[in-house]
Amino acid sequence: MKILVINPNTTASMTKKIATAARAVARPDTEIVAANSQNGPSSIQGFLDVATCIPGLLEEVALHPDVDAIIIACFDDTGVDAVRTLVSVPVLGIGEAAYHAASMIATKFSVITTLSRSVPGLENNLMRYGLVQKCARVRATDIPVLKLEEGDPATLFKIRSEIRETIEQDNAEAIVLGCAGMANLMAQLSKEFGLPVIDGVAAGITFAEALVNNNLSTSKIGAYSVG
């Protein structure tokens, strides 16, 4: 099976990290096609970026017509509804995938994301998915998305201290990493803190495999119908 994992910002280093995370969990017979938008914002931080990245995302999707599933690798799940309407294969956002995974292994989880201004959009998504009641808190580290690409130790330090606070204050039983740019930290942090740490890219790839193996695709009656 072939899965398109698409980074809706234009930062190639992030796409590379996403591809690595995707391939690390994909089945041997799953081909991962990693791509990013050619036009649009270099990172998606807040409602304006969420909107302006859409054309580039849809163009990129159109370039890959022969895939079995699509993962939108932006934690805001931007464009998921539009892409579901456009194509007939399963489509998952990485925020959505991570929340569903967390709900299957913990009674309560917290999200650790980048900027404060992204928090309300994530809370909207959680409410819409119904999973807001499983989420103890969406926490911002105030690390800009692209800062994650620099490998600065201070960045990891901030994420770690936020996880520590989460465990102490939120009664969260699992941590969701709230940005595709954190995909590489999952294994390390999980081990260090002794609780599940969930990366949406990995969750998305494996759930897409699951849906395809179930022969399930987006419903084409109702919200995602066309014509």
Question: By CB under 8 A, what part of segment 79-98 binds its own copies?
Answer: 79, 81-82, 84-86, 90, 92, 96
Among 112, 174, 176, 179, binds its own copies (CB under 8 A): 174
Q: Should residue 185 be labelled a site residue for its own copies when binding is judged by CB under 8 A?
A: no
Q: CB within 8 A of 185, min separation 6: which ones?
A: 156, 159, 177, 197, 199
Choose which of 1, 12, 25, 146 interacts with its own copies (CB under 8 A): 25
Binding segment toward its own copies, per CB under 8 A, in 5-13, 60-68, 157-165, 198-206 = 198-206
Residues of span 102-161 touching its own copies by CB under 8 A = 103-108, 116-117, 119-121, 124, 127-134
Say what the alpha-carbon torsion angle 110, 115, 121, 122 is, to the nearest 10 degrees: -20
Tell whether residue 20 is a contact of its own copies (CB under 8 A): no
Residue the block writes with tokens 């990693």: 34
Residue 178 tokens, joined: 């709230």
The percent helix, strand, coil of the chain (3-state, each to 5) is 50, 15, 30
**Residue 149: CB minimum distance to its own copies, A:** 19
Q: How far is CA 71 from the centre of its chain?
A: 8
Q: Which is nearer to its own copies, 100 or 151 (CB)?
A: 100
Distance in Å, CB of 201 to its own copies, minimum: 10
Sign of CA dihedral 88, 89, 92, 97: positive
- Asked if 218 touches its own copies (CB under 8 A), the answer is yes
Q: Which amino acid is at 101?
A: A
Measured from the CB of residue 96, what is the shortest distance to its own copies in angstroms? 7
